[in-house]
Amino acid sequence: MELRSSNIDKLGGEVFDVLIVGGGINGASAAAALAGKGVRVALIERGDFAGSTSMHSSNLVWGGIKYMESRDFALVRKLCRSRNHLIKSYPATVQEIRFLTTITQGFRYHPRYLWAGAWLYWLIGNGFTRIPRFLSPQAISDNEAIIDTSSAVGGFEYSDAYLHDNDARFVFNFVRGALNYGAVAVNYVESLGAQREPDGWLTRVRDVMTGKELAVRSRVLINAAGPWVDEHNALTGQSTNHRHVYSKGIHLIVPRLTDSQRVLAFFADDGRLFFVIPMGPRTCIGTTDTRVERPEVVATEEDIRFVLGNINKRLRLERPLDQQDIISIRCGVRPLAVKAAGGGERDFLQLSRKHAIDINRQDAHLSIFGGKLTDCLNVGEEVVEAVNRMGIEVPFPKHRWYGEPPDQVRREFLHQARLMRLDDLTAQASSEPLSTRLWRRYGTHALEMLEEIREDPRQAEVLIEGTEYLRCELHYAKRREMITRLEDFLRRRSKIALVVHEEAMRRSPGLREACVILFGDEADARLEEYFDTTRRERSEAAAVERAATLDAASTVLAEPGAEPGRQASH
Ligand SMILES: Cc1cc2nc3c(=O)[nH]c(=O)nc-3n(C[C@H](O)[C@H](O)[C@H](O)COP(=O)(O)OP(=O)(O)OC[C@H]3O[C@@H](n4cnc5c(N)ncnc54)[C@H](O)[C@@H]3O)c2cc1C
């Protein structure tokens, strides 16, 4: 029986210690931590795992250098420690990266002052990374010819970290970890609300793929619904100390702009940090920061113009980037935790991205607000502690539930890979040797892939042109990664849909074979569903755009002198 259907069957079959609603980073890390320490956990996600906010981040694991300006040193210390801990625990996945920040004339701080701040940041982070350095405009040019230094007065380089693959893959690995520890995790299952009964929670859930409803029983309920936490609390009658406000952020994926493995940082027109981030064969640029009222958002023409305009102003490109260069768009909201009473009225851009866990002991209910990917290990540990305080036994409290497999296993994998000359099979356009990539993505299971390739060398063939994904990875995904819709594989387990043009993907002869591997008889239906969805999303975005234009026009008519379509703030 397939992983998903067998897990759905298990959902109704027992009383879980904990049910988690929401499979973004917060829900996934909570599930991995609880399951790893021996608690009986179920996790449901109404879309795909990491299908919302957690697939739209900047992929950065950082100590919060921007909070240095607001002198929130305690937060910076906490985030730096989380960053260091992640780098140590995931050496192949979370890697140190240099940030080169260019300062232009008239900026509110002198570059030497910022450089001194970077040293303090480095010290607060226990000197864990490479030291910062100051760069003159000439040195910036020498290091990164692509940066337009005509109005630069200097810059500095410092280190933080980034997710080598992508955020969604990072999240899924926590879900996979939870499954390995016996958790029951299912995607495309929605909570319709929960009721507190004398001996625990009864949550009504619906299988989104079939419409079938069932009841899940648990002693504790965790609301990890990200931007929809407040909405789900309303369904379950929970009132909390915190609530969310939302900030929309977009990123554009464009052809690779520079070969250096650095993040280029600038201060955008609105004074906020703005990034050019390496993404394998592509570059990711962004982001914006716009207050919005609802979590369902699309990237508007104005957002896109803002990002392209800022990038074109700061880089020396052969020709300015335009809409035609956009390969894909990421757009989501940051759920920001504020005090339920009036907290959102603080200066919006100054709101920190700290997480908060509201605990209702009497009802055995937890709500996770805000947070960052960077903070995920803390969230996992804090949730275990809170659940334990609610009377749930934690049989293995010291078990380490996260991290890559031990170095000994990695060495054995690399040894076997070397003996069979695996790296000779690396695709020509690939950004790294095959062995490095397989280890990072699959850890111990990469050894099984070696076995498959030894038995049948066709398993090492790239299936979808222009990507680095092999036939054996598709088979693995089918067995172990709960691919329910094609988008789950193309956009989240892999990053194919981010880095390959949709048209190129449509033409790729390998895409259908990939679908056959993943979906068998349903291959054509899933393929059609995928392209229908991307078409529908585009037309919805266009409709939102039209409505916004009409709105702006009516505002101008109602208030002569008002500026049409201006964003509140980025
Ligand atoms: C533009 C942008 C850039 C960012 N950059 C970074 C960065 O570089 N580094 C960093 O550390 N952080 C970054 N963040 C922040 C980080 O991405 C988020 O804080 C984090 O992903 C939130 O995770 P979550 O689990 O709370 O929410 P989500 O990922 O949204 O997960 C919540 C899940 O709950 C599900 N759900 C909701 N209701 C129900 C229901 N009724 N039943 C079942 N499931 C339900 C949703 O489908 C969703 O998948 C960024 C965020 C944005 C938007």
User: DSSP secondary structure string, 419-475?
Assistant: HTTGGGG--TT-SS-HHHHHHHHHGGGHHHHHHHHHH-GGGGSB-STTS--BHHHHH
Residue having the nearest C-alpha atom to atom 16 of ligand 1? 372
Q: How far is the CA of 113 from the centre of ligand 1 (A)?
A: 34
Pick the residue whose CA is nearest to atom 15 on ligand 1: 372
Torsion of CA 143, 65, 302, 497, to 10 degrees: 70
Q: Which of ligand 1's atoms lies nearest the C-alpha of 247?
A: 53
CA of 482 to the centre of ligand 1 (A): 20
**DSSP labels for 318-379?**
SS---GGG--EEEEEEEEEEEETTTGGGS-GGG----EEEEEETTTTEEEEEE--GGGHHHH
Query: Closest Cα partner for 162 from 57, 294, 49?
Result: 57
Q: Which residue has the tokens 């266009």?
A: 542
CB neighbours of 560 closer than 8 A, spacing ≥ 6? Answer: none
CA of 162 to the centre of ligand 1 (A): 17
List C-alpha distances in Å: 87 to 84, 438, 439, 519: 5, 19, 16, 36
Q: What is the atom index within ligand 1 of the atom nearest the CA of 373?
A: 11
| Residues recorded for the chain | 570
Parallel/antiparallel/unpaired status of strands 41-45 and 15-21: parallel
Rounded to two decimals, the pTM is: 0.94
Q: Which residues contact 208 (CB under 8 A, 6 or more apart)?
A: 46, 47, 188, 189, 190
Question: How far does the centroid of ligand 1 lie from the alpha carbon of residue 171, in Å?
Answer: 10
Dist. CA 33–CA 16, nearest whole Å: 15
Which of ligand 1's atoms lies nearest the C-alpha of 28?
25
Nearest-atom number in ligand 1 for the CA of 193 is: 41
Ligand 1 center to 359 CA (angstroms): 20
Atom 18 (ligand 1) nearest CA: 372
Residues 411-419: contacts with CB within 8 Å, 24+ apart? 412/447, 413/439, 413/444, 413/446, 413/447, 413/450, 414/439, 416/447, 416/450, 417/450
Pocket around ligand 1 at a 6 A CB cut-off: 21-27, 44-47, 51-54, 56-60, 190-191, 224-228, 232, 249, 287, 332-335, 371-374
Q: 376 and 174 in contact (C-beta within 8 Å)?
A: yes
* Burial class of residue 518 (count of CB atoms within 10 Å of its CB; 0-12, 13-18, 19+): buried
Q: Which atom of ligand 1 is nearest to the CA of 25?
A: 25
How many angstroms is it from 60 CA to the middle of ligand 1? 14
State in Å: Cα 334 to ligand 1 middle: 7
Q: Tell me the three state secondary structure of residue 168.
A: helix
**Tokens 């002991």 sit on residue:** 361
Radius of gyration, CA atoms only, the chain: 24
Along the 570 residues of the chain, how does pLDDT read in single tens digits?
589 999 999 999 899 999 999 999 999 999 999 999 999 999 999 999 999 999 999 999 999 898 898 899 999 999 999 999 999 999 999 999 999 999 999 888 999 999 999 999 999 999 999 999 999 999 999 999 999 999 999 999 999 999 999 999 999 999 999 999 999 999 999 999 999 999 999 999 999 999 999 999 999 999 999 999 999 999 999 999 999 999 999 999 999 999 989 999 998 877 888 899 999 889 999 999 999 999 999 999 999 999 999 999 999 999 999 999 999 999 999 999 999 876 555 555 556 678 999 999 999 999 999 989 999 999 999 999 999 999 999 999 999 999 999 999 999 999 999 999 999 988 877 878 999 999 999 999 999 999 999 999 999 998 888 788 999 999 999 999 999 999 999 999 999 999 999 999 988 889 999 999 999 999 999 999 999 998 888 887 778 777 767 776 676 556 554 433 333 333
